[in-house]
A and B are shown apart, each in its own frame.
Chain A
Amino acid sequence: MRPVDRRRFIGLTVGGLVLPRFAIGQSDTRPTINIAVQQVATSASLEVVRERSNVGERVQQSIFETLIDRNLKSKLEPIPGLAESWKRIDERTVEFALRKGVKFHNGEEMTADDVVFTFGPERMFGYDYDSGSNKTLFTTVLARDSIEGKKLPAEVVGIAKRTFPSLEQVVAVDKYTVRFVNRVPDVTLEARIGSSGCSIISKRGFMEAKTWIDWARKPIATGPYKVRELKPDESLILDAHDEYWGGKPPIKTIRFVVVPEVSSRINGLLSGQYEFICDVPPDQIGALAQNAKFEVQGGLITNHRILVFDKNHPRLADPRIRQAITHSIDRQAIVDSLWAGKTRVPPGLQWEFYGPMFVEGWTVPEYDPKKTQALLKEAGYKGEPIPFRVLNNYYTNQTATAQIEVEMWRAAGLNIQIEMRENWQQIFENDGKRAMRDWSNSAPFSDPMSSMVGQHGPQGQQQQAKEWTNAEMNKLCETLEVETDMAKRRAMFKRMLEICEREDPAYTVLHQNATFTAKRKDIQWQSAPAFAMDFRADNFRWDRKT
Chain B
Amino acid sequence: MLRYLAGRLLRAILTIFLVIAFVFFVLHLSGDPAMMILSADAPPEAIKAFREAWGLDRPVWEQFLAYLFHALQGDFGNSMRDGRPAMQLVLERVPSTLAITVPAFALKLLIGIPAGIYAALHRNSLADRLTMMISVAGFTVPSFVLALVLVLVFSVQLGWLPSAGSDKPTSAILPIVTLGVAGAAILARFTRSAMLEVLGQPYIRAASAKGLQWRKVVVEHALPNAAIPTTTIVGFMVGTLIAGAVVVESVFAWPGIGRLLVSAVSNRDLAVVQAILLLVATTMVTANIIVDFVYGWLDPRLRRGGTRGR
Contact = CB atoms under 8 A, between A and B. Distances in A.
B253 A264 contact: yes
A136 interface: yes
Given A144-B80, A267-B155, A273-B162, A137 B45 contact: yes
A147 B83 contact: yes
A398 to B, nearest CB: 15
Contact of B151 (A145, A257, A264): A264
A271 B35 CA distance: 41
B253 A261 contact: yes
Nearest to A139: B46
A422 B35 CA distance: 13
Interface string B234-267: 0000000000000000111101000110110001
A428 B40 contact: yes
Contacts of A36: 164, 253
Contact of B84 (A42, A135, A147, A235): A147
Nearest to B271: A144
A138 B46 contact: yes
Interface string B153-188: 001100100111111000000000000000000000
A46 to B, nearest CB: 14
A141 B37 contact: yes
Given A261-B253, A267-B163, A424-B40, A158 B46 contact: yes
A480 to B, nearest CB: 19
B84 A137 contact: no
A259 interface: yes
Given A260-B250, A261-B250, A464 B81 contact: no
Given A154-B49, A263-B148, A267-B151, A141 B38 contact: yes
B253 A44 contact: no
B36 interface: yes
Nearest to A143: B83
B152 interface: yes
Contact of B36 (A267, A424, A464): A424
A379 B156 CA distance: 59
B50 interface: yes
A259 B165 CA distance: 8
Contacts of B263: 233
A259 B255 contact: no
A474 interface: no
Given A144-B83, A260-B250, A137 B155 contact: no
Contact of B159 (A235, A272, A460, A461): A272
Contact of B82 (A136, A232, A261, A428): A232
B43 interface: yes
A139 B39 contact: yes
Nearest to A263: B148
A332 interface: no
A300 interface: no
B49 A139 contact: yes
A158 B47 CA distance: 13
B163 A273 contact: yes
Interface in A217-237: 231-235
A455 B250 CA distance: 35
A143 B83 CA distance: 5
A383 B260 CA distance: 46
A400 interface: no
Contacts of B253: 36, 257-261, 264
Contact of A271 (B80, B163, B166): B163
Contacts of B36: 423-425
B45 A271 contact: no
Contacts of B43: 136-138, 464
Query: Main SS of the interface on chain B?
Result: loop
B32 interface: yes
B41 A261 contact: no
A271 B84 contact: no
A234 B164 CA distance: 12
B13 interface: no
Nearest to B253: A259
B78 interface: yes
A268 interface: yes
A270 interface: yes
Q: Which of B35, B260, B262 has the most CB of A within 10 A?
A: B35
Contact of A233 (B31, B164, B255): B255
B126 interface: no
Contact of B156 (A140, A261, A270): A270
Contacts of B163: 264, 267-268, 271, 273
A143 B43 CA distance: 19
A261 B262 CA distance: 12
Interface string A246-282: 0000000000011111011101101111000000000
Contact of A139 (B32, B50, B259): B50
Interface in B8-33: 31-32
Contact of B164 (A142, A158, A259): A259
A257 B152 CA distance: 20
Contact of B38 (A140, A231, A263, A422): A140
Given A144-B53, A260-B250, A233 B259 contact: yes
Interface in A132-171: 135-147, 154, 158
B60 interface: no
A48 interface: no
B134 interface: no
A334 interface: no
A452 B155 CA distance: 48
A213 interface: yes
Nearest to B148: A263
A213 B83 contact: yes
A43 interface: yes
Contacts of A428: 35, 40
B141 interface: no
A213 B78 CA distance: 14
A260 B263 CA distance: 10
Given A43-B81, A261-B250, 8 more contacts: A42-B267, A141-B38, A143-B82, A143-B83, A271-B155, A424-B40, A428-B40, A461-B41
20 contacts: A43-B81, A44-B82, A137-B46, A138-B39, A141-B80, A141-B81, A142-B50, A144-B80, A261-B251, A264-B151, A264-B251, A264-B253, A267-B156, A271-B151, A273-B162, A273-B163, A273-B165, A423-B31, A425-B32, A464-B41
